[in-house]
Chain A
Amino acid sequence: MNANRHPSEIDLALYSSGDLAAMARLKTALHVRGCADCKTRVQAYRADREVASTVALTMPRNIDWDRLSDEMVGNIRVGLAAGECVAPLASKSQPSKFSFGKPWQQGLAYAAVAFVVMGAWWLNTPAAELSAIGRISRALWTQTPVAMLAEPGVTVEASPGGVLVKENGSSMALTSPGNRPVAVSVSLQGSARARYMDDDTGQMTITTVYVQ
């Protein structure tokens, strides 16, 4: 067999320990069977492995376990102390993307996130619900007994924005774009009214919404 075709030392070592890939293992096995040199090398590797395993399993005599333990603890402490000394310099020179900094910085970050979440909730919650939540919170805080249950029905409303009738989440509003009412009022019989003046024509228009 041509020497150039001998498997490499690494392949022979891996073959001896059974760690070679399947195709390479097959190829090497065929070669080793017909090549005395390589067969000898493989046997030598196997013998070395067995000796190494036996040595590794045999504990050295006269070991002072207490001293070994103290040395290990000491080494760990020295390592931690060294790490403390190096950390500030490392953080200054290469700030980590995922570092949360000191506790007060973490607290500030959490507060900012909470502020954003609360703000989004506040802005997206209807005013009536906010008002009800505020009242309930006040009642709970002041230990005031709750007098009535919430039961929103058909509501009419007059405001500087116009008049509005609301029912089950739907609403009908009478407005006057670009024009503020000159007067608004509500009747306790269930109606709301707004008066508008047209600047161009001088014509008065009165809009009213009613609860049927």
Chain B
Amino acid sequence: MRTDPRRDRKVTRSAATLAILTGLAACTLFAQSDRRGSLKVDLPKDSPISVLNADWGESSTAVRGGAMVLDLRTALTLRNSSQRRVRSITLLVQAQEVTPGGKASVSVPSLDVGPGETFPVKIDLRLLRPVSNNGGPLVQVALDGVLFDDLGFYGANKLNSRRVMTVWELEARRDRKFFKAVLEKSGQNGLQEEALKTMARQGDRPMQGVQSVRGRSTNVEPEHDLQLAFLSVPEAPVEATEGYAKVSSNEVHAPRLEIRNRSDRAIRYLEMGWILKDTRGADFLAGTVPADLQLAPGAKSSILQDTTLRVPDRFAVGGMTGFVSSVEFQDGSFWIPSRAALTDAQLGRAVAPSPEEQRLMQIYQKKGIKALVEELKKF
């Protein structure tokens, strides 16, 4: 029996093409299932928030040498299943297999989600890990907390999200009240003028990369003690009296502060903001020093953090100025700087704008003054 060589080659080519296409399809399906299996969202049964939809978007996996880079682009659509309005939410993100000593969170503040309404939460993660994998979900997403409009809270609160979200909400209320007052007093033109001033102040804040390392530093240069300076906030319930930190080039290590409670209420938590100044005079808000403490009225205490703050190499730390940014009293109430205190030029420049202030300015910048007025009228 004779065979046609051309026909044979054609059949072989078709079979090869089919095999390649089948392989590619299998890889795509595997990658898709791998991505879906990579992230698990786990909410409690009695959660006031439920997952309506999960979009896996453009997630991808790539191998680079001995490491695997996993990009997870997830958009969750969540529904408010409670009877109260949701103001903010924090999701706990953990990758035990990748970084057992670290965890992450995604928070959405400044929300106004009514009962039954939905809202999106985007989780864009990049994981770098060894190629070997023991299986199982790489990333677990859980609910850490939900803050309602009555400042009520639901959640495991493993990340102290109740405190953080309450401060954001109080700052949001302060700033909305301020802009509403400007609108009532000076109309749209006055509000526009204030928005421009606020945006100029926000734009005047340089952004630098900063690192925080627990324990010893990796720096090899000798340290010296730096005396810390403090911005006076007359209305603050806490006063910082003295402070030192060990400084070496671009690192600040183990800051220690002496503080005094000058209010008539006991304090259980304090957060101080820090401005770093380099030897050439440039400065930026580097971070915060939070402290859990028990401070009776009039009592003094020390705060010591065995941590290192590291800024880019080009920045040589020449000075450090602190200010009280928030206080939680024993009774669960909070103190934050008022808008009046923020009118002080030095303090106004040092204190970070609230998430709500930034959101309102974004609305003005993108949609104009009428959209800002409409937003302020909502609640």
Contacts and interface: CB of A to CB of B under 8 A. Distances in A.
Interface in A144-158: 144-158
Interface string A179-210: 00111111111111001011101111111111
A203 B108 contact: yes
Nearest to B312: A159
Contacts of B211: 155-158, 186, 192
A160 B164 CA distance: 22
Interface string B112-139: 0000000111111111111000000000
A161 to B, nearest CB: 8
B210 A184 contact: yes
B305 A189 contact: yes
Given A154-B101, A189-B289, A211-B101, A204 B109 contact: yes
Interface residues of A, number: 67
B355 A174 contact: no
Contacts of B78: none
B154 to A, nearest CB: 19
List the 10 shortest-distance A-B pairs measured between CB atoms, nearest first. Answer: A159-B209, A165-B102, A186-B287, A154-B101, A186-B210, A173-B126, A206-B107, A188-B307, A157-B211, A147-B222
B4 interface: no
A122 to B, nearest CB: 15
B205 interface: yes
Contacts of A153: 101, 213-215
Interface stretch (A86-94, A96-104, A130-138): A130-138
A153 B127 CA distance: 18
Contact of A206 (B109, B209, B212): B109
Contacts of B197: none
A39 interface: no
Contacts of B95: 172
A60 B1 CA distance: 88
Interface string B279-300: 0000001111111000000000
Interface string B285-324: 1111111000000000000010101000100000000000
B210 A192 contact: yes
A171 interface: yes
B207 A181 contact: yes
A167 interface: yes
Contact of B104 (A183, A190, A207): A207
Nearest to B305: A188
Given A169-B67, A192-B210, A205 B125 contact: no
A46 interface: no
Interface string B219-245: 111110000000000000000000000
Contacts of A182: 202, 358
B218 interface: yes
Interface of A: 128, 131-132, 134-136, 138-139, 144-161, 163, 165-167, 169-177, 181-192, 195, 197-199, 201-212
Interface stretch (B14-22, B145-153, B185-193, B359-367): B359-367
B366 A199 contact: yes
- Give the contact-size bracket for chain B: 35 or more
Given A146-B220, A154-B102, A172-B126, 14 more contacts: A134-B313, A167-B102, A172-B104, A175-B126, A176-B124, A177-B124, A186-B211, A197-B362, A204-B108, A206-B109, A207-B104, A208-B107, A210-B104, A211-B214
Contact of B363 (A152, A181, A202): A202
A210 B128 contact: no
B209 A189 contact: no
Given A206-B355, A210-B159, A155 B221 contact: no
A211 B105 CA distance: 12
B123, B208, B287, most chain A CB atoms within 10 A: B287
B101 A135 contact: no
Contact of B108 (A173, A176, A206): A206
B369 interface: no
Given A155-B213, A176-B122, A205-B122, A147 B110 contact: no
Which of B103, B104, B111, B366 is the most central at the interface, judged by chain A CB atoms within 10 Å of its CB? B104
B249 to A, nearest CB: 8
Contacts of B102: 154, 156, 165-167, 172, 209-212
